[in-house]
Amino acid sequence: MANIGFIGTGIMGAPMAAHLQAGGHQLFIHNARSRPAQLIAAGATMCASAAEVARNAEIIILMVPDTPDVESVLFGENGVAAGLAAGKVVVDMSSISPIATKEFAARINQLGCDYLDAPVSGGEVGAKAASLTIMVGGPEATFNKVKPLFDLMGKNITLVGGNGDGQTTKVANQIIVALNIQAVAEALLFASKAGADPAKVRQALMGGFASSRILEVHGERMVKRTFNPGFRIALHQKDLNLALQGARALGVSLPNTAAVQELMNSMVAHDGGGLDHSALCQAVERMANHRIAGD
């Protein structure tokens, strides 16, 4: 059993931390935005700063929204770096810039500590079910040391390569998911506008080559109009920004990613950033002046 630090106990982080706690580990937590009462009631120690978390824990896990948040938590005043001692491990499970990740890892390494980038896929449902896909970048020995913790939070756990490669994999994941959501939205909109029952169209397509997890889960959300967030549009918008920034730096073109990003931008402009990313269908519904389902 280990002393584990966990910074960022929000929609995703709280259930992830709870699984570590249920696995018998002692948690030292810090969350600037809220007080995770259930974790504290189960024995977690609330720390006043990220530095205090780092002083108490052997392995420090971050689960915060964006690149600037990770930088602030790591290197800001009373950040993780201020509390580190040689031999500790920092694990960033946020979804952030691969380029910045390499810089952060190098700075942590200079303090005599190891660094893993380990973003996840699976949303709130996967976090609660401990079935997340975890994509890891960093040294193999460090990965092997931390893997028992990953096993408590996820199912499909892969060491992809060195630092930054985990984040690169997550960006690739978000490209695929976004384009699939858009494809399902357009297909169901087309079917509905043509007069077919979108629920039955979805059911029929689930038995063919067009079947996908997106069609199964997000297609149902589009038909039933259940857009309470499992993964918010604003966060997916951020991830596609990372994809397009990376593409620009690499000199490659991602035309369909750019198109879907504009629809994400439209959703945020219409106050839809807090909805589940399946609500992307609303952007194409506005252009067609027709809803997939409902009044």
Catalogue the active-site residues. Answer: 170
Residue 164 DSSP one-character state: T
| H/E run at residue 14 | helix 13-22
Output b/e per residue, 98-120; b: 16+ Cβ within 10 A: bbbbbebbebbeeeebbbbbbbb
Token pair, residue 243, equals 């994809």
In angstroms, rounded to a whole number, what is the distance separating the alpha carbons of residues 18 and 128? 9
In angstroms, the CA 234 to CA 226 distance is 17
Q: Are 153 and 16 in contact (CB under 8 A)?
A: yes
Contact 182, 263 (CB under 8 A): yes
